[in-house]
Amino acid sequence: LEPRAGGSSETLDADVVLVATGRRPFTDGLGLDTVGVKTDALGRVQVDERFQTDEEGVWAIGDVIPGPMLAHKAEEEAIAVVENIAGLCGHVNYDAIPGVVYTHPEIAD
């Protein structure tokens, strides 16, 4: 182990090691700034409650906006966006979307 702040390293014997990583939106290099779409410090596209960006006619959902990066969340957001574009009242009930933890090997079916 090597301390992040520096210092001497040490060896730790273990039977199992947990590696946990975060996820980030893949928005670098898309040219969002050239069309006026704003992102936050983490690179997430900023949208309003209707999933519309500050740029007229540009909508965003899924992994590029704040919230869990889950396909079933993006699917519900996509339906809501289409309803909003059609002039209806699209809405996502985030409380009804199950959370997920992915592991390898899988520990549940």
- In angstroms, the CA 21 to CA 76 distance is 25
- In angstroms, the CA 91 to CA 52 distance is 13
- In angstroms, the CA 106 to CA 31 distance is 37
pLDDT given for residue 43 in this prediction: 95
pLDDT given for residue 52 in this prediction: 97
pLDDT given for residue 74 in this prediction: 96
User: At residue 15, what is the residue type?
Assistant: D
For each of the chain's 109 residues, which pLDDT tens digit applies? 888 888 999 998 999 888 877 788 999 999 999 999 999 999 999 999 999 999 999 999 999 999 999 999 999 999 999 999 999 999 999 999 988 877 777 777 6
pLDDT given for residue 109 in this prediction: 65
